[in-house]
Structure 1
Amino acid sequence: MEHLPSPLHSLHADQIKVPYVCNKSYDGGSFLTYPVREGKEYVLPAASTSSGQLPFWQHEKLYPTPKEELESFFQTWLFFGLLHEILGDFCSPQDFIRASQEAPDEVISTSKLISIIETWVSRVINDETATTYEHLAECLWVTYAALRAVNSAFDQRIKLSIASTGEMLEYAVNKAFHIDNMARDNECPASWRQLVDEASWTEPMRAAGWCPSQIFILCQGAFSIQSLYYFTGLRQPESPSRHQSCSKQKCVAYQNNLEKYTTQHCMGDCKCEELSIDNGAVEDILLKGQIPLLRIIPGQSLADLSLEIIPSQTGSQYVALSHVWADGLGNPYANALPRCQLLRLQGLLQRSNMPSDSGDSGQELLFWCDTLCCPVKPGEAKTRALVQMKRTYQDATMVLVLDASLQLFDGGLLTPEEMCTRISSSGWTRRLWTLQEGALGADKERLWFQFRDRAFNIHPLWLRILEIFDKEIGRRGLASAISLETKTFTTLISRGSNDGKGDLAMIEAALRHRSVSVGTDEPHLIANLLGLDLEEILNGSDETRVYRMWSLMPSIRQGIPKSIIFRLGPRLSGEGFRWAPSTLLDRYEDVNDILLTMRDGNTEGIPSPRGLHVSLSGYNLSFPSRPKGLPPNPWNIMREKKLLYMRDEYGAWYLVRRRESKTLSAGGDFLTNEELCTITHSNDIFRIIDLETEFQARTDGVQQTRTSLLVKLVQEEEDTNYVQSFMHINVAILQRANSDMFEAAYQCAQQLKESSSARQMTTLQDHEIDLDLSNYRTLFDSLGNENRRIAMMAANEAGLAASKRISGRADSALFEAIISLLFAGHFVLMGRRTEATQRWCVD
């Protein structure tokens, strides 16, 4: 496993020892037909469709191959065979085998793999090989599919070695054949990390002191084996107990109880006095629309140290500090800091004056710090400080990040990868306010991070990561992950728009798992990043700030992304705003970024007193009438509480499920706690609003799913449906065979309604519908027998598309149960799909 990158002083004290278990050498023939030559054709992914055999995973369930035999065969085929197929004569099996130092057995060695692959890539680029991209992509897909089908008993070390090698070969193949647009042109599997047990990453990261929310981000995101292996080797410098109260959804390690907050000294035993700012001078500067800047004047002793307040002028050079209050540099009671802290800041500022790109090196660098320059006492001056916070960081010569965990390391001794990883996993990236401070500084390449030895500008580090991604196959996956983690603040504004304003979808992604001590500060920050009128947002009660934020959004954009109505998470409770998230801090999407799914075309919604006006397609729903004369639960029909079946006007069938986050409890969509199945008994009128426009034709057998919203109709006008959100759902079209079976059952249910037994039931009075009455029992049993007869006739009917699915005894019973379900009216009828121009007002 030497090909996987590790940090300096890695926790991977010993590389994973992968045993060499091959019973025979690879025969040198075609990779794709090797299982056929070895009499194991069933392991090929296409074997079940081409020859009628069971899929490999089912074959193993019924006829399990001995563990040792399967591991030996897969190592021969998927490791040595794949390397031979792709790299050919550039390597030999002996390049990857070495003697173990701990035992007489041999182990797999990949110490030569990167150099061999790089040589092969250069030869392909120079057209010195005859292989094709399509063939190599197919070989990688076969490897991926076969490895994915093995059970948990398979040696995880062997599995990891094959998967990580396949991942690096994927990078090599795409680079060799100039596949630059991965989203559009990549034909190779791109999620090798899914083949590896998640515990392989989570357990060592927990032991290394990582926050559970950070682990969740990394393990649920599109990160590579390379990057996850690297992260597991990186010990966090903080106390392991710091994150003991954190969860997958949120890091609370840096939350501050402002009533108990203690400003810290540089040394634990220091007892120097605090130095307070002249509040009157600061307020006068703020009320004049200027920024209060500070100069530290040292004296003969610490007690003689003083501060001078200087109003900003055009061209003022200053450092704006960005820090985590949990590190102790805040003060919620007064605009004051211990003198020892100010002396430390003076030293940092003196060193910050050295880099040539910080401005005119001959001009003194002043500084700005929120603890000293933003009034604690509420009033007009504090409001002015908050309003011009964006300008404060935007105009700074440098934005200097002070994070306690980063200052434990000498940056000059770290690689760019480790520096960026430690930055992106630091406490600074977990707080709300630092997102704005970092984004504004990075936008002008003025964001610096203080390490123990000196400060480093993030921009050249960022460029180096991009260079690694482009040039170094052995660290491409790692560079991609680091780039993804750091770009949330390094490119937030510049990537969002060309007008210095952020984009709501990108801001939401950047806010994931950040936290804030004062919840009403969130609208303030989002408003700054979006360019909203902050004074108007601050002009009112703190509790209604978020309402004013959503109301003002159309003022700087055409509107609000209409896809926001499909976003999971807590919502506002005020009438007309129940579509709006009450916070963007807690991300409840496990995979999708809902706000990123619709970036083109008519993507905007307009808020109104009655709700958000959007144009989207959807369906009118209706419910079949329940046949008269049935008992409450005929034949003890078992209904899934969280799903419904739907039929459209063309006879196609769909499955509807409640859409939930894996990280939330039941009812966690913050709309309703009712079960989905209850709507068939409701007196309300329901509609479905769809995020996507239509199902795309699929030929790979994958079930097609749409993200949708189930709503109650409040009022229907000529051009607008006024609706109230009810439940987030996924709508999946059933695969052809299942849809045919349901349609056959539906037709049988219609026949059953016309049977003499069903007709007799419609004539009964309420007091006659009782299973304890012999006459009714006889009639009900007759209805059941008729159901069974119709089901058997349908199963035997020639040419019936569903007959192959209901020929066995168990399947016949299932088919009969489905007829009963549909006969009793436990399904939904979908009307014709509306045009995408259909207007909705969603509350």
Structure 2
Amino acid sequence: MDHLHIPDACQPQALSVPYLGFAPKYDRLEFIKFPERHGQNSDKLINSHNLNPWRKGWVESFFQEWLWFGVMDEFAKACDINLDLDTFVTDNPSSSGRIITTASLVSLAAPKPPQTNFNLTAGLAGGLNHVQGMFQGFAEAAKTAAKKRLVATVRPPTGKRIDLAKSLDSAQRVLRAIAKRHSPLVRFEIVLSVDILCESIAQIVKARFGESIKLQSASSFQKFEAAMIARNWCPSRITSVVTEASTSLNYIASLLPSYESESHRGCRPRKCLKGTSTSKDISPLHRDTCPGDCPDISIEESQIIQMWKSGGIPGFRPQPGVNLDHLEIIDCTRQPFVAISHVWAHGMGNSSKNALPTCQVKFLCNLVRQVAGNDAVLWVDPLSVPIDPETKRIAILKLRKVYEEAYKVLVIDRDLVKVGSDQTEQALQLLCSEWQRRLWTLQEGRLARDLYIQFKDSAVPISALMTTNPRSEFGATEFDYTLGAKLDLQHRFLKRQKKDHLFFLNLVEDLAPRSVTHTSDEPICLAILLGLDLNEFHPYPKMADVYRSFPSIPQDLMFINQPRLTDRGLTWAPSTFLEVEFVQFPYGPATLPGHLSVEGLHVVKDCLLLHQDLIFQRVTGNGVYIIETTNGESYAIEPQDFVSPDGRSSVMQLNRVISKPAVMGENEGPLRNCFKGRSSKRNTRKEWHLLLQV
């Protein structure tokens, strides 16, 4: 699996795939009949038990020869590539034995770029600049068109790639059968190597031919999660990178080092149970390099109160080599400044006074000078936002202005500052960071016009972590294993000018994994991000105010399984979007906004109307029901039995008579017909929501 880019910090955990070599080598004939040609039956091999060590080793080697080398051979045939299968076996540099190597796969990832020859004579030299300008315009147009074609022309496999797709499907089907065994027949790293090889081949085919091969991974994401949790990762921080979208990305993410000193095994996927309980418990900490006895640097609260009330934004100018006992207070509205975004519990929060230890202030001043020069002005909330409630409200009302107008916003997370210079690790660690799991940092990151993330060696602009680095001009992103992570960052941080219902949905998705100490802060942050005028609410907006102030309400919000508001016309509305187990919405023309009135939310949804006296009859063991109507028609549906956290949603029971008119709707888009297939992807629930009309 060495064709994957493994960051240096992940190398100690990287897996080597041993080449066993006990069974006959792959004979490069028809893939599916390889067992038959050697007098074997794959089903019997998979289901064999009580094997002696020699036989078990032979069976494991047989599957490696068939599935790994057979898949590689099918790939070579389908793409007309001359491959010597022996070149994929090499000596293990760190120990005895031989291992599988896939380093040469990288060179096969991209198609050959088109070549055009021009013969410009001396007589045309005078118009060369004009011609170059024309061709530059043509080239840019061609690039744009090529990218569009890559999206628009992806099609099913054709020609020889049809057989390749069948072979990949067969290989993964065998792997899934092996994975279901209670006792492992084939070691995990061999199963994983075949799985990643299949995924890599599918990506190469997509990049070279514009053909998509559908795969169903045999490598359970739970194994990758377990590996991360064993290294003290909190389950609430790994859900962004460990998904069913990419086995390769899951593997790389599972190698990430954690900088936590204690286990988080008791935490939940959407809630860390080891965080600070209340903001009253938050006091600033000294830097690790400080003995812990440096004095606090305090700010005279009356000075910053006066500046906030006069319309200014108080910041501080650090001067190199100057005693920091007294910081100069500067009005940020008159010059460029750097705003700090951080997690309060990481050592720079102070809920009792405007003060920080000298070591923390020196640390901040040094970082600010590195990203903005010696004359930079520092803005950080423990020093700039007063404790006084009246003036604190003035500061909160201006937070949007602070982060939008900052010359740079610098993110400081206690774990990210330990991450090296590898951008793959930087992107993945950012997605897993605690900074991405707190409510207030959401607006700080999204509102910034120039967001920088502080890592160990330097601060890196978020744009650098979202950029795909092409290996070729065309098909650039098709062989980028971190593409999913980069697209996730783009989804979170690319600016969206239009504050419509899709923007609201995007915010809700980003809120789902986050948490906050005071629940009353959620509508404040939402109002700031949605661009609402906070002066209209006293003292601060509530969730009902946010719903009523936003012109376009996404219809699909009513399907989020969260506690509901009790306000008139808003009993359909979730009272919070935080710490939701899973939220993902469809985007596009089908995602229509709803219209909010005094009575409630008016929506237009494809649905199945259930009339009185309909009986749900369970016909299978996996939750499928038949609805029988009075005119003899039958419908098959697959509902989910659930009760919302507030206990207000009803449980659908076997043979329960529905005595009220109701609407059956689904949470992933229009209900085209009641036999619609459901996604089997991780975290995608198979559910229908029964909404009783009252």
Q: Is the 8 A contact 1:5 1:226 kept in 2?
A: no
Q: Which residue of 2 aligns with 1:655?
A: 637
User: For 1:450, which of 445, 450, 454 is the aligned residue?
Assistant: 454
Q: Secondary structure at the match of 1:95?
A: helix
Alignment of 1:539 with 2:560, yes or no, is no
**How far apart are residue 102 of structure 1 and its match?**
9.2
Task: Find out whether 1:617 has 2:606 as its counterpart.
Answer: yes
Per mean C-alpha deviation after superposition, the further-off stretch among 571-580 and 158-167 is 571-580
- Cα 1:573–1:679 shift into 2, 3 Å: farther
What displacement does 1:227 show? 1.7
Structure 2 distance, partners of 1:10, 1:124, is 33
Give the percent of matched residue pairs that are identical in Structure 1 and Structure 2. 25
- Does the 8 Å CA contact 2:465/2:486 hold for their aligned counterparts? no
Task: Report the Cα offset of residue 564 of structure 1.
Answer: 1.5
Cα distance, 1:248 vs structure 2 = 1.2
2:331 match: 311
8 Å CA contact retained: 1:125, 1:176: no
Distance 2:646 2:655 in 1: 17
Alignment partner, residue 17 of structure 2: 17
Structure 1 pair 367–653 and aligned structure 2 pair: CA distance change class (3 A): same
What per-residue deviation string (whole Å, max 9, x for no partner) do you get for residues 473-518 of structure 1?
9994532233144335432xx2x44569981221122223221112
* Residues 1:139 and 2:167 aligned together: yes
Aligned to 2:691: 711
**8 Å contact from structure 2 (residues 16, 189) kept in 1:** yes
Does 1:549 pair with 2:546?
Answer: yes
In structure 2, the CA distance between the partners of 1:659 and 1:92, relative to structure 1 (3 Å rule), is farther
**What RMSD over aligned residues (CA atoms) do the two structures have, in Å?**
4.1
Q: Provide the residue aligned with 2:408 in structure 1.
A: 398
* More deviation, 227-236/391-400: 227-236
Give the 5 Å matches for 1:803-814.
none
- Residues 1:154 and 2:185 aligned together: yes
State the distance in 2 between where 1:244 and 1:499 align: 39
Aligned with 1:587 (options 568, 572, 580): 580
Structure 1 residue 168 displacement after superposition: 0.9
CA offset at residue 222 of structure 1? 3.8
The alignment partner of 1:386 has SS state of helix
Instruction: Return the letter of the residue paired with 1:213.
Output: S
Equivalent residue, structure 2, for 1:435: 442
The alignment status of 1:278 with 2:275, answered yes or no, reads: no
Q: Distance in 2 between matches of 1:259 and 1:701?
A: 44
Other structure's SS at 2:627 match: strand
* Mapping of residues 180-259 of structure 1, within 5 Å: 187-192=212-217, 195-219=218-242, 221-241=243-263, 243=264, 246-255=267-276, 257-259=278-280
Q: CA deviation at 1:271?
A: 3.2
The answer to whether the 8 Å contact 1:468/1:479 transfers is: no
Cα distance in structure 2, aligned partners of 1:700 and 1:615: 22
| 2:423 aligned partner, one-letter code | P
Kindly indicate whether the alpha-carbon contact (under 8 Å) linking 1:6 and 1:229 is maintained by their aligned counterparts in 2.
Answer: no
Shift of 1:236: 1.3
Shift of the alpha carbon at 1:533?
Answer: 2.6
Is contact 2:502-2:587 (8 Å) kept? no
Which amino acid in 2 is paired with 1:460?
Answer: A
Amino acid at match of 2:545: R
Structure 2 segments unaligned to the other structure (5+ residues): 116-157
Q: Secondary structure at the match of 1:657?
A: coil
Pick closer, same or farther for the CA change 1:420–1:471 going to 2, 3 Å. Answer: farther
Aligned to 1:340: 359
**Counterpart contact for 2:499–2:530, Cα < 8 Å:** no
Q: In structure 1, what is the Cα distance between the partners aligned to 2:458 and 2:339?
A: 16
Partner of 2:124: none
Query: Once the 2 structures are TM-superposed, how far is the Cα of residue 228 of structure 1 from its aligned partner?
Result: 1.9
Q: Secondary structure at the match of 2:512?
A: coil
1:373 paired residue number:
384
TM-score normalised to the size of structure 2?
0.80
1:419 aligns with 2:400: no
> Which residue of the partner structure matches residue 459 of structure 1?
463
CA distance in 2, matches of 1:603, 1:86: 43
> 2:312, 2:113 → 1: CA distance?
61
**Residue 692 (str. 1) matches residue 670 (str. 2):** yes
Amino acid at match of 2:460: F
Partners of 1:434 and 1:462 in 2: CA distance: 18
Q: How many residues align?
A: 635
1:176 corresponds to: 208
- Among candidates 79, 92, 114, match of residue 105 of structure 2: 114
Separation in structure 2 between the aligned mates of residue 213 and residue 318 of structure 1, nearest angstrom: 33
Deviation, 1:399, is: 0.6
How far residue 167 of structure 1 moved from its aligned partner, in angstroms, is: 1.0
- Give the Cα separation in 1 of the matches to 2:544 and 2:503: 19
AA at the equivalent of 2:649: T
The alpha carbon displacement at 1:7 in A equals 2.0
Equivalent-residue separation in structure 2 for 1:502 and 1:395 (angstroms): 25
Q: Residues 320 and 400 of structure 1 are in contact (CA less than 8 Å); yes or no, is this contact kept in structure 2? A: yes
Deviates more, 1:605-614 or 1:10-19: 10-19
State the alpha-carbon separation in 1 of the partners of residues 30 and 530 from structure 2. 56
TM (normalized to structure 1)?
0.67
1:87 aligns with 2:64: no
Aligned-partner SS, 1:90: coil
| Residue 97 (1) aligns with residue 129 (2) | no
Per the TM alignment, residue 308 of structure 1 is displaced from its structure 2 partner at its CA by 2.4
What is the identity, as a one-letter code, of the residue corresponding to 1:646?
I
Contact 1:4 1:229 in 2 (8 A): no
Q: Distance in 1 between matches of 2:465 and 2:205?
A: 27
Letter in 2 for 1:324: V
Q: Spell out, residue by residue over 1:47-79, the C-alpha distance to the aligned partner (whole angstroms, 9 max, x if none).
A: xxxxxxxxx69x967999996676454333322
Aligned position for 2:518: 518
Partner Cα separation in structure 2 for residue 2 and residue 75 of structure 1:
17
Structure 1 counterpart of 2:633, which letter?
A: G
Q: 2:225 corresponds to which letter in structure 1?
A: T
Structure 1 segment 559-708 matched on structure 2, within 5 A: 559-589=552-582, 593=584, 596-597=585-586, 599-601=588-590, 603-622=592-611, 624=613, 644-648=625-629, 649=631, 651-658=633-640, 670-672=647-649, 674-677=651-654, 679-680=656-657, 683-690=659-666, 691-695=669-673, 708=688
Unaligned runs of 5+ in 1: 44-55, 180-185, 355-360, 627-636, 661-665, 715-843
Compared with structure 1, are the counterparts of its residues 85 and 203 closer, same or farther at alpha carbon in structure 2 (3 Å cutoff)?
same
Structure 1 distance, partners of 2:677, 2:295, is: 74
In structure 2, C-alpha distance between the alignment counterparts of 1:137 and 1:641, rounded to whole Å = 30
Q: Take 1:518 and 1:473, find their aligned partners in 2: how far apart are those partners?
A: 44
Does the residue aligned with 1:371 lie in a helix, a strand or coil? helix
Q: Distance in 2 between matches of 1:408 and 1:214?
A: 17
Residue aligned with 1:337, SS: strand
1:90–1:602 Cα change, 3 Å: closer
Tell me the CA shift for residue 385 of structure 1: 1.3
